[in-house]
Amino acid sequence: MIAACVAGCLTAPAGAPAATPPQGYQSDAAFAGSAAANAVVNVSATTQRVSCYAPETLYLDALTPALGYLDGGGSPCDGAATTGEDLGPYPTQDVDHPALRVKDHSESDLRIDPANSNHLIGQSKWAVNAEGYNHLLGFYESFDGGATWPVQGHVPGYEGWTDNTDPVGAFDPWGNFYSLVLPYQFYYGNGGVHKFDNGSNQINPTVPPEAIAVAVHPHATLPGKTPAASWITTHDGRPDYLMTAKNANTGDPDKQWITIDTNPASPHYGRVYAMWTLFAFNPSVIYESHADARPDGTHTDWSTPQVLPTVSGKRWDTYLLPHVAPDGTVWTTTTNNPQAKNFGIADISLIWSTDGGASWQGPLPVAHDIAVPTYKNTTFREGIVNTFAVGPKKVNGRYPLYVSWEDGTGGLSNVYLTASYDDGHTWTQPIRVNDNAGATEALQPNLDVAPNGTVVDAFYDRRLACPDQGTAEATGAGIAYDPGTSAAPGTPYGRANYCVNTAAQFYRPDLTASGHNVRLSAHTWDPQLSALRPSCICSSGTFIGDYFGVASSGGVTYTTSVSTFNEAGDNPFFHQQQVVARITTP
């Protein structure tokens, strides 16, 4: 029996998006002042400590300040580390390289301990060389509601691979933090090209070319370990693998995600659900595996990975974003983004499990023919096209489901949001989230639902022009060092739809808007400075992340997102740092 739907529901898939945000448009001046008006607090988290680690692949090549890299290339640590982490070499490595300083912190995830709302852990790509895309995963931990971040370092256990990527984690019910890691190998060819050889020439033959794996940060410091180094990185004496790939060309895991059932009334309380995509030649295959967490930070064996359901005949699914409802039902969206359509058109579906991951149902359609945007004016690529969340309070007898996405129809990226109040059988007409009146972009939406049912849709916003020449804000943003500054008309001084802010829109559970978009970043920042180059140093394509973190608890909503702004001299080389914003949840 399907519960009665609230007003505005349609038969799935959802109808055409509304052209105007339901809260109406907001002036740029009002948006600029909304951070102060809402008492938003910003804390630069990753400038509070200096992290270093010894990479498996030593890469020191650099780009010049004229290209936006004032502190380019790999730099020796030289005793600068203040984290207390292990600087290497590491058990999984077959080399002995010097420790390098972590400079840039791109892409992020943020989680709040269900047992202590003042305990937060963020994760990010921890880059020692932005131009070479040479990074491990790193973490930063707060015990005072995000005011300070005293515990930081790289996530250990998988240093024997060139890169670890896609930061995502979850707390179990006892305050242990699970990081789901994607370690992979490549080496640098001519011109800095990343080379993924098919099983041969692996940079480290003692470990698999790729893997999906786990590291656990226990709630108590391990004997003989500093807080930064307190991680459980093995299971039964071996690396904690969920799967391994024999080579990186014909079996390429990617886009892993994790959730943990922290609902005391659930029959699967403490169950850890991990999902990932395996790109095997052309079609992709999506997988799930689960284990049960234990209070001491260990867990049971992982279940045999199982293939998840997809739309028949359309096997190109990815972007699994699982969440657990209070009754123990595991929900996730899947996104079909086929190569046959140049990865330019996406459809979103919904699948779920009611028996702890033993079996899966669906898919049901959510949205179709989404135009995946290509962002204008700058060189950073688009991110994960959609985001998903589950409400903790029932609406009309069901836990509400929320899906948001970016769409580039008409040439500019906008963010849209829809909801289902009948377990995904029907969806509301999509509403536009960003309320800018001008022709500027909103991108990379990230959803969360607070314990009181308030929905937050956080996103990057480009409506505010870059600071004008001669202003203190332009100096802090480093606009003079933007590679386009020396070549009008590319100069970004005063230019709209170029620089970036973090923003959010709050909604009641029925998607009634709570006011207008709120600016969460204190400063507008330049995405062209110190940007990671995910393809190679020789390519102009850059990266600020595919997503960023948002989480709500204890009456507060937090985001952790990129900024290159130099606030009070804490970021003089305009590196990508993670800034945590804090706002009272409506």
Name the amino acid, one letter, at 279: F
- In which band, very low, low, confident or very high, does the pLDDT at 19 lie, cut at 50, 70 and 90? confident
The contacts of residue 37 (CB under 8 Å, 6+ apart) are: none
Handedness of CA 565, 110, 418, 14 (dihedral sign): positive
Is 75 a member of any domain?
yes
Cα(107)–Cα(509) distance, rounded to whole angstroms? Answer: 28
Is 452 a member of any domain?
yes
Predicted structure pTM score? 0.96
pLDDT of residue 438: 95
Cis peptide bond upstream of 392, omega within 30: no
151 pLDDT more than 70: yes
Per-residue model confidence as pLDDT tens digits over 362-400: 999 999 999 999 999 999 999 999 999 999 999 999 999
Cα(520)–Cα(559) distance, rounded to whole angstroms? Answer: 8
pLDDT of residue 196: 87
Give percent of the chain with pLDDT exceeding 70: 95
Question: Nearest-CA neighbor of 59 among 182, 208, 163?
Answer: 163
Question: Nearest-CA neighbor of 560 among 422, 472, 448?
Answer: 448
Is 562 a member of any domain?
yes
Is 86 a member of any domain?
yes
244 pLDDT more than 50: yes
Is 26 a member of any domain?
no
Question: Nearest-CA neighbor of 424 among 452, 458, 399, 446?
Answer: 399
pLDDT of residue 7: 37
- In the chain the first and final C-alpha atoms are separated, in Å, by 33
- CATH number, residue 360: 2.120.10.10
pLDDT of residue 488: 60
pLDDT of residue 299: 98
Is 4 a member of any domain?
no
Residue 177's domain comprises: 60-584
Q: For residues 338 and 50, which has the higher predicted lDDT (pLDDT)?
A: 50
- Residue 466: both structure tokens together: 């870059």
Question: Nearest-CA neighbor of 404 among 445, 373, 360?
Answer: 445
Cα(274)–Cα(212) distance, rounded to whole angstroms? Answer: 9
Rounded-to-10 torsion of CA 231, 236, 238, 240: -60
Cα(395)–Cα(454) distance, rounded to whole angstroms? Answer: 12
Q: What is the 3-state secondary structure (H, E, C) of 323-343?
A: EECCCCCEEEEEEECCHHHCC
pLDDT of residue 314: 72
Given a contact cutoff of 8 angstroms between Cβ atoms, the answer to whether 455 and 447 are in contact is yes
Handedness of CA 575, 576, 582, 583 (dihedral sign): positive
The secondary structure of residue 478, as a DSSP letter, is T
200 pLDDT more than 80: no
- In which band, very low, low, confident or very high, does the pLDDT at 279 lie, cut at 50, 70 and 90? confident
Is 42 a member of any domain?
no
Using alpha carbons only, what angle is made at residue 556 by residues 34 and 176, rounded to the nearest 5 degrees?
Answer: 140
Q: How many domains does the chain have?
A: 1
Given a contact cutoff of 8 angstroms between Cβ atoms, the answer to whether 187 and 204 are in contact is no
Given a contact cutoff of 8 angstroms between Cβ atoms, the answer to whether 176 and 217 are in contact is yes
Is 413 a member of any domain?
yes
Per-residue CA distances from 519 to 37, 111, 500, 528 (Å): 10, 21, 11, 21
Strand order in the sheet with 284-292: 252-260, 271-279, 284-292, 306-307
- In which band, very low, low, confident or very high, does the pLDDT at 248 lie, cut at 50, 70 and 90? low
pLDDT of residue 109: 98
- Residue 515: both structure tokens together: 């006011």
pLDDT of residue 369: 94
Strand runs labelled E in 393-493: 401-407, 414-420, 426-428, 431-432, 442-449, 455-461
Give the residue-averaged pLDDT of 289-293. Answer: 98
